[in-house]
Structure 1
Amino acid sequence: TADVAMVGLALGPAAIAGVGYGVPYWTMTFMLGGGIAGGTISLVSQRYGAGCYNDIGRAVKVSVGAALLVTLPLVVVFWTLPEPLIRLIGTGEEAIAYGTRYLRVASLAMPFAALNLIGSRTLIGMDDAWTPMIVRAGGAVVNVAVNAVLIFVFDLGVVGAALGTVLGSVGGVFIFGWGFAKGRLPFIGALPVQIDWALPHWDARDARHLARIATPLALRKVAQNGGQFPLLAIVGLFGPNVVAAFVVALRVRALMNTPGWGFGLASSSLVGQSLGASDERQADDYAHDTLRFTVATYALVGLGVCLVAGPISALFVAEEAVQGTTTALIRAACVSVLLWGVMNGAMGPLRASGDTTWPFYGQILGLFGFALPLAYLGAVTSLGIWGLYGTLFVETAVPAAVIYYRFQTNTWKRISRQHREAAVGNAS
């Protein structure tokens, strides 16, 4: 989000739109890694809860191998073919040029971003959320500082923003990898696990179990973020200023979604550990408590951002003509993000138990059944910009309803029993 603001202030709406065209490709790969990391936290938390500490490292190494197998081929594609990919969804030659330069360089960060997710999910699955927070927060601070220097001092523009992302991601992987190898980190102390990075790095049984859990998670995330391609193509029909405003609203919504990552992962960790210990009642208590905290937090965050939507839009765009549209879309995103809170809160126990198929169905339904048609209606009828307001809402409301329904049925507890023997029994 900070890099978008810096690029916008330095180069204007066309650069924001260009970065916005490149971000979905980068994010799609990032989310593939996130799906694998979701399987990692399920394996790690259940083994940790069952006391199978010596087998956690094997699950982590299998996850690392899977992440590299998935992301490295995409790096090659995005490095060699950035312009044709940007043109698939982009409009305006200036914005396409910016997007091409951004995507080529940012693609180098993709494998490292996926490995960062696996590192953080591993620790969170063992009750250590503090270390990932320190590492990721430190990386974010360095990223912002490097971006500022590269964009404003060296005048590298969107390339500088992409380089900052690459350097921050590489640094995070180095810290996680070194810390796991040593079993501790300077200034932080001992980690809950020490991993021997020597061969073998692959275990067929763990890989199969990881695939069963992670594949629906990865597909859901690809659908969620891959949907940005046709969505941005439709938004492009409104013109470059609306594209810039919409991209800003999406980035602000993503920033508001930050607490959900913490709550959702905490739920997955606590629920997974309880399931690993065969204590379903405690797992249920953790699941419901986290859901309530998550929704309450999102309500406060959404209200706060809605009240200052105008000043926030001014941080990203200087043109008054764009600021009004940006402010309105940010306020729509504030309503939308509340439903994202429901998704994150209810998703935690489903992810921990391995019940990951229904969330994928909900994401597909929300995107292709509601969000994209509504955006298109706004572009071609008198509905206009209201179609985009509605798009932001239904994009989260529909999957939230599906995920919450599945959570309330308690089917995830039954499914957890099926996965538990594979996750813990194979490790014994």
Structure 2
Amino acid sequence: MANENVELMRGEPEIAIRKLAIPIMISMLLTASYNIVDGIWVAGLGQAAIAGIGFVTPIFMILNGFSVGLGNGATSSISRAVGARNHEGASKSATHSLLIFLVASILLTLIFLIIQEPLLIAYGASGQSLAEGIKYGTPLFMGLFAFMFANGGSGILRGEGDMKRAMYAIIVSVILNFILDPIFIYVLNLGSAGASLATIMSSIGSAIVIMYWILIKKDTYVDVTFKGFKFESHIARDILKVGIPSSLDMLMMSIAMSFYLIFISSVGGEYGIAAFTSGQRLYLFGIMPLTAVGSAVAAVSGSSYGANNWEYLSRTHTYGTKFAMIIAIAILLILVIFAPQLSMIFAYTPETAPLIPEITNFLRIASFGLLLVGIGMPSSFMYQGIGRGTTSLIWTIIRELIFTVSFTYIFGIILNWGLTGIWVGLAIGRILASILNFIYAKYTLKKLKTIMN
């Protein structure tokens, strides 16, 4: 199976993207269901709990972003070695990746536990929403190792094209989360903390499954062993040159999210935060299929770049963009047409029912940002695939911190359009930045043509 995955990565890029993207898509939709399921159960705890968890969201994005980012670093390093037919190099990259995951999880756990309360207060959390945020956040930060090895381990599997087993591990965690959420939240009466504990226990299950395949069953393409292990700094640098910028992608988006929360809180208070938090869950769920296509593009781009095949690299980007655009249009139609019905998922109690109009408003405006994110996202993932993580990071900064934050402030605060203005700013900022990102990606490919041919 491992060799079949590797040959798929080295074959026709259009076929590879389709076959790799579908299991990644299923995996990411299932992963996004964590937030959906948490949101459904937490909605029964009231508006303060919803807002408290909303304030934790940007911090959790940083936490989860480091695990996903380092996993992307592993994917890029391993896939380039696969393309270059360097089995030993791919195995060394996987081994060094696991060591990096361990060190990072220890350091980041300590940092997040220290900074969580000051950050929540800075975002505008106070009183009951602050208490709920701390109850939800503390277990998440203590369980960072679970996310690190689950997401990072998935990155190792993606690097060798083994998307199906990465999907199977996610299925295990989603089933566990579905079972544990109501038990921890209501049966054990743990409230908000129960939602995060269920997520952590589910991630531990996923990490155990992946580590079993890699370290015990040893039926992966990469051969991970710590016997006679020798640290090689150039391999660690190769992983981190994509892993760190990719991790900082989430940090930049979290900083942008902090601005959004401040703007929303100033014009809509706890009501606005609760509406945004609920709508954002659906938006993030909708963006997952696009991220899946991007992840497939990253793996196939890395293999094409490692094989020094410019034609395959260009075809990978072109097809990935078309594929993502088709999916983006379908998702946009669903979110816009069924916005009222989808809003009721998170506002089914008498206390939260007043949120439905604003969640609907958010979905019918902000979701238009997805339309052009479909051409920007494959471009960013292509940069990661060829080892240019910093370029991907720069475009995240341009999209979220420069364009989107600016437009949300202009429409929501300066023009005094309130919450509607902020939703408009989210859409316009992401659309304009994605167009520019696509243009730059084509320019990058044109320059690479002279180098690779």
Q: Do both proteins adopt the same fold according to a TM-score greater than 0.5, normalized to the shorter chain?
A: yes
Q: Which residue is equivalent to 1:126?
A: 160
Which of 85, 89, 96 is the matching residue for 2:130?
96
1:341 Cα shift?
2.1
1:401 Cα shift?
2.5
User: Is the CA contact (8 Å cut-off) linking 2:302 and 2:385 kept in structure 1?
Assistant: yes
Q: Which residue is equivalent to 1:389?
A: 423
Q: Which residue is equivalent to 1:426?
A: none
* CA–CA separation in structure 1 for the residues paired with 2:93 and 2:37: 34
1:219 Cα shift?
2.4
* Matching of residue 43 in structure 1 with residue 73 in structure 2: no
1:130 Cα shift?
0.6
- Residue-by-residue CA offset, 1:352-386 (whole Å, 9 max, x unaligned): 11233333223223333333333334146532122
User: Is the CA contact (8 Å cut-off) linking 1:65 and 1:201 kept in structure 2?
Assistant: no
Q: Which residue is equivalent to 1:247?
A: 277
1:220 Cα shift?
2.5
**3-state SS of the aligned residue for 1:239?**
helix
Which of 255, 259, 262 is the matching residue for 1:230?
259
Which of 32, 36, 54 is the matching residue for 1:20?
54
1:244 Cα shift?
0.5
Which of 326, 351, 363 is the matching residue for 2:359?
326
TM-score by length of 1: 0.89
Q: Which residue is equivalent to 1:424?
A: none
Which of 177, 183, 187 is the matching residue for 1:153?
187
Q: Sort the Cα spacing of 1:395 and 1:359 in 2 relative to 1 into closer, same or farther, 3 A.
A: farther
* CA–CA separation in structure 1 for the residues paired with 2:415 and 2:247: 35
1:139 Cα shift?
0.8
Q: Sort the Cα spacing of 1:213 and 1:139 in 2 relative to 1 into closer, same or farther, 3 A.
A: same
Which of 260, 268, 289 is the matching residue for 1:259?
289
Which of 285, 297, 300 is the matching residue for 1:270?
300
* CA–CA separation in structure 2 for the residues paired with 1:360 and 1:77: 22
Gaps of 5+ in 2: 1-34
User: Is the CA contact (8 Å cut-off) linking 2:55 and 2:125 kept in structure 1?
Assistant: no
1:177 Cα shift?
1.2
Q: Which residue is equivalent to 2:7?
A: none
Higher deviation after alignment, 17-26 or 368-377: 368-377
Higher deviation after alignment, 324-333 or 402-411: 402-411
Q: Sort the Cα spacing of 1:201 and 1:398 in 2 relative to 1 into closer, same or farther, 3 A.
A: farther
* Matching of residue 343 in structure 1 with residue 376 in structure 2: yes
Gaps of 5+ in 1: 185-189, 419-428
1:199 Cα shift?
5.3
- Residue-by-residue CA offset, 1:292-330 (whole Å, 9 max, x unaligned): 111101110121122111111111023332110011102
Which of 245, 249, 255 is the matching residue for 1:220?
249
- Residue-by-residue CA offset, 1:13-55 (whole Å, 9 max, x unaligned): 2111101111211210211222222221111111112221122
Which of 157, 173, 181 is the matching residue for 2:215?
181
**3-state SS of the aligned residue for 1:227?**
helix
* CA–CA separation in structure 1 for the residues paired with 2:379 and 2:161: 19
TM-score by length of 2: 0.85
Structure 1 vs Structure 2: percent identity of aligned residues?
Answer: 20
1:208 Cα shift?
1.9
1:129 Cα shift?
0.8
1:94 Cα shift?
1.2
* CA–CA separation in structure 2 for the residues paired with 1:51 and 1:106: 39
Where does structure 1 differ by over 4 angstroms across 4 or more consecutive aligned residues? 415-418
Higher deviation after alignment, 10-19 or 86-95: 86-95
User: Is the CA contact (8 Å cut-off) linking 1:354 and 1:415 kept in structure 2?
Assistant: no
User: Is the CA contact (8 Å cut-off) linking 1:249 and 1:333 kept in structure 2?
Assistant: no
* Matching of residue 403 in structure 1 with residue 437 in structure 2: yes
Q: Sort the Cα spacing of 1:278 and 1:369 in 2 relative to 1 into closer, same or farther, 3 A.
A: closer
Which of 237, 240, 243 is the matching residue for 1:208?
237
Higher deviation after alignment, 115-124 or 379-388: 379-388
User: Is the CA contact (8 Å cut-off) linking 1:362 and 1:402 kept in structure 2?
Assistant: no
RMSD between aligned residues: 2.3
Aligned length: 413
* CA–CA separation in structure 2 for the residues paired with 1:201 and 1:135: 29
User: Is the CA contact (8 Å cut-off) linking 2:321 and 2:375 kept in structure 1?
Assistant: yes
Instruction: Name the aligned partner's letter for residue 340 of structure 1.
Output: V
1:118 Cα shift?
2.0
* CA–CA separation in structure 2 for the residues paired with 1:111 and 1:401: 36
**3-state SS of the aligned residue for 1:193?**
coil
Which of 150, 159, 165 is the matching residue for 1:116?
150
* CA–CA separation in structure 1 for the residues paired with 2:138 and 2:451: 44
1:251 Cα shift?
1.2
User: Is the CA contact (8 Å cut-off) linking 2:395 and 2:437 kept in structure 1?
Assistant: yes
**3-state SS of the aligned residue for 2:160?**
coil
Which of 80, 94, 102 is the matching residue for 1:60?
94
**3-state SS of the aligned residue for 2:418?**
coil
* CA–CA separation in structure 1 for the residues paired with 2:221 and 2:447: 27
Instruction: Name the aligned partner's letter for residue 186 of structure 2.
Output: F
User: Is the CA contact (8 Å cut-off) linking 1:306 and 1:330 kept in structure 2?
Assistant: yes
Higher deviation after alignment, 305-314 or 77-86: 77-86
**3-state SS of the aligned residue for 2:143?**
helix
* CA–CA separation in structure 1 for the residues paired with 2:439 and 2:327: 21
User: Is the CA contact (8 Å cut-off) linking 1:67 and 1:114 kept in structure 2?
Assistant: yes
Instruction: Name the aligned partner's letter for residue 368 of structure 1.
Output: L
* CA–CA separation in structure 2 for the residues paired with 1:36 and 1:413: 27
User: Is the CA contact (8 Å cut-off) linking 2:78 and 2:90 kept in structure 1?
Assistant: yes
1:411 Cα shift?
4.1
